[in-house]
Amino acid sequence: MSSSWTIKTALCAAVLVLWMPWVASAQTTTAQILPKQNSPYSRFGLGDLFSSALVSQTGVAGMGIALRDGSHTNWLNPAALSSLEVAAFESGVSAKYSALSDGDQKDAAFSGNLRQLSLAFPLNNSINRAQERKKHNFNWGMGFHLSPYSEVGYNIQNVEIRGETLDRITTDLKGSGGTYKLGFGNGVRIGNLSLGAELQALFGKVANSRGVYLDSVALAYSTDLQDDISYRSTIFKLGAQYVINLDKPNERGIQDIGDRSFILGFTYTPNSDLKSVSSRLYRRLSPNSSVSDTITYESDIARGGTLPSEMGFGLTYESLGKLRISAEYLQTRWSEYLNEAKVESLSDSRRMAFGVEFIPNVQSYNNNWSRSRYRLGVFHAQDARSNNGQQLTNYGLTLGVGIPIILPRQTLSFVNLALEAGRFGAVDGLKETYVQFHFGFTLNDSSWFFKRKFN
């Protein structure tokens, strides 16, 4: 069985694994909301946003604007597709433990998700080029990926005592669902300059409900508000990278292990239209819930909106096959965000990150740990959402390792592990302290577009 066939089979199976839960959730009514996580802040905006970083990038604080690798895909900057030397199928899953605290109130939750499916390949086979024994100033890579874009999951209960009669009012807030993005990208390298573009299709559905109950009055009616909103959009992303070599190439015009360089990276995503279809049911329920009185009902109402623009810069110092030191800055103008189906105001978000990747001895023959890639990163971000006038922050530390494995045909692949620990929330308000474990693999194959020659 060829490794090429294995990659294609794994991709199809993984797509089905991610798609089947989405189909099931699309058939669930809002009365059956069962959140997979409890993240109270996910009720704002489109929910908790996911990064497009693969597990190999998560270990260096989720960076990628100025990173390029011949064995790993990089969807944070489509220009990096031009650096691929082999076909790469990548997937990752995550498990998260969250501890919520707000004063004396505390709660804990476990959650997990499939984070990424990706298939990318160079259109020029690296084996063909190696046989020619000369440097090529042009390369072209393309790929596809499917990943979560945002997730909504919360289950909040608030109890309030009012008036001299000490009326006890209970409010239940629940939400579930999220959005996904399917992307297709291309990257072209001409000399030291790489340019890339990616087209993303955004789709998904979010369900929200709000119930109000007057517990102190036995025969009091309760109210129930249910919202279903389906989203779709088309997002266009541009990227560029430029390599400044600090050492001269060898006699064949190729950089050797240990040669130093700087990589400059830039990404830009313009505004995109957000389209939604919403349904709303607002009703009053009798004490035994056997009788309901519909107050408001809307079905399949089409509305518009705007997704924000985004701009990012990155810088990497690389000693080829030994060391990478990277820093990047990303700004998303969520103040431009508009959602007619759920009107709210957000602020511009910013993210700064720094990371290091180190390989002890990439040429080691009998010590796999010496050839492994060890990663460390730190990050600090301002979220688009606010609580009581305070913009939310997220900061943390990441650790990771990429363990090389040999597949059939002696193609080098990787098992990637990453651990992320951080704190998210408001300075004076609800805080989330979390630890997240990521597991992923990269299956590489060098036989795509290989031209066999016979003497």
SS (H, E, C) 338-361: EECCCCCCCCCEEEEEEEEEECCC
DSSP-derived 3-state class of residue 131: helix
Return the pLDDT at 442.
93
* Residues 294-315: tens digit of each pLDDT: 778 888 999 999 999 999 999 9
pTM of the model: 0.85
CA dist 181 and 332 (Å) reads: 17
CB atoms < 10 A from the CB of 16, how many? 9
Using one digit for the tens of pLDDT, what is the confidence trace for 426-435? 888 889 999 9
Instruction: Tell whether the model's pLDDT for residue 129 goes beyond 60.
Output: no
Predicted confidence (pLDDT) per residue in 241-279, tens digit: 999 999 888 877 778 888 999 999 999 999 999 999 999
Task: Give the separation between CA 321 and CA 257, rounded to whole angstroms.
Answer: 5
3-state secondary structure at position 410 = helix
3-445: CATH class: mainly beta
Say what the alpha-carbon torsion angle 200, 96, 347, 22 is, to the nearest 10 degrees.
40
Q: Which residues, 6+ apart, have CB-to-CB distance to 334 below 8 Å?
A: 45, 308, 346, 347, 348, 349, 384
CA-derived radius of gyration, the chain: 25
